Each structure stands twice: as structure tokens, then as C-alpha cells.
Amino acid sequence: MRQIVNDLQMNDRMPKKPPQLPAPTTTAADIERSIQALNKMAERLWGDGREAEAKALLDALDALNRALDRIRIGESRRVLH
């Protein structure tokens, strides 16, 4: 029992976790730049004869673009209301 009490007392003296820094904010422009860079990568893959990989990447980028559009629509609605 004394060991448990001692352990609890030690925990009280141990330093607390340092405060976490806020996560950096990612803007729509940052996402667009990333999409453009990945689009260039898909073009290089296509040019290297790796059409399957390029198509998969382009499909993923298309979905990401649609999601970004939905986010923008939601943000503009919040601003208007």
C-alpha cells in the first residue's frame, strides 16, 4: 500500500506535459499547390509508360478536387449566413 502512495506522490511531482503548439493551418491555396505538383507527377508517370499508376493518381486527385470544392462551398455559405 505504501508503494502505491509513494508512486502517486511521485506522479504529483513529475513535470506536466508541455503545452502543445497549435497545428499549422493549411489553406486552400496550399492544397491547390499540392494537387498541381501531384498532377505533374501523374503526367511524368504517364510519359514513362506507367499509365495505371498515373490513372490511379489522377482519380485520387479528382476526388480531392471535388472535396476541396465542397469545403469551399461550405465556407462560403457560412460567410453568407
pLDDT at 14 over 80: no
Write out the residue range of the structural domain in which residue 63 sits. Answer: 27-81
Would you say residue 5 lies in a domain?
Answer: no
- Indicate whether 65 belongs to any domain: yes
**pLDDT score of 36 more than 80:** yes
With cut-offs at 50, 70 and 90, classify the pLDDT of residue 10.
low
Residues with Cβ within 8 Å of 43's Cβ and at least 6 positions away in sequence, in order, are: 54
Average pLDDT over residues 18-32: 77
pLDDT band at 68 (very low <50, low <70, confident <90, very high): confident
Q: Assess if residue 20 is contained within a domain.
A: no
Task: Determine the pLDDT at residue 77.
Answer: 75
In a domain, 7, yes or no: no
Number of domains within the chain: 1
d(CA 57, CA 39): 8
Grid cell for residue 72: 469551399
Report yes or no on whether pTM surpasses 0.85. no
